[in-house]
Structure 1
Amino acid sequence: MRPPTKLLIAARQMLELTQASLAKETGMHARTVYKLETGNGNIESVETLVTYFEGRGITFAPLEGEPGWTIINRDAVGSFDDERKRNRENRSQHATKGRWEEK
């Protein structure tokens, strides 16, 4: 299966790679990476990128029960919601600490 080109771009950006650095790491030419990201190129090159991304912790998966794909970064820690929760807890602790010190 071939993931959409936008997901190839997203995976590269998640790893903070340029097209040139991705090409170097995969042994491809930068022009090949560009072609793949614009919807051109052969399936073997796509498979090379997918294998590389999977080795770096990124998985492409078709959505279940509906058309489309998703991208999963297995090496990512936490989520946006986790960070918001920590920020709320920190604000709450500082507010509580301030009230106790004033008494």
Structure 2
Amino acid sequence: MRPAPPKILKIAREFLGLSQDDVEALFGISRKTIQRLERGDNVVVHYANSLQGFYELQGIEFVPPAGGKGWGVFNANTKSDPNKLNELGVIPPSKRIKATK
């Protein structure tokens, strides 16, 4: 997995229709850490990779630069219904993924 740039992580989150608070609740990484990752401030590579992996599990495909073009983000959740941004529903606390340190 090639690490996505900070702005691409933000775009992926927004593409899923999630707020930073949503990601905090679902993934277990603090909102402050998400903000730092999306700004590129003091990024801990482990957290950036974990967050990217979480978005990939939710249907996001990160497309690295190729052929003179920049990064891309594809949301597989829109394949069958372009109006559908994500597959996430209400996830009980017992089923939430916690970031590993």
Q: Is the 8 A contact 2:6 2:38 kept in 1?
A: yes
Q: Structure 2 matches for 1:12-91, cutoff 5 A?
A: 12-40=13-41, 41-66=43-68, 68-77=70-79
**Which protein shows a greater Rg?**
1
Q: Distance in 1 between matches of 2:45 and 2:68?
A: 24
More helix by share: 1
In structure 2, runs of 5+ residues without a counterpart are 83-101
TM-score by length of 2: 0.70
TM-score by length of 1: 0.68
Superposition RMSD in Å: 1.9
Q: Is the 8 A contact 1:6 1:37 kept in 2?
A: yes
With a CA cutoff of 8 Å and minimum separation of 6, indicate the structure with the bigger relative contact order.
2
In structure 1, runs of 5+ residues without a counterpart are 81-103
Question: AA paired with 2:61?
Answer: T
Secondary structure at 2:63's aligned position in 1?
strand
Partner of 2:6: 5
Identity %: 29
Question: AA paired with 1:13?
Answer: E
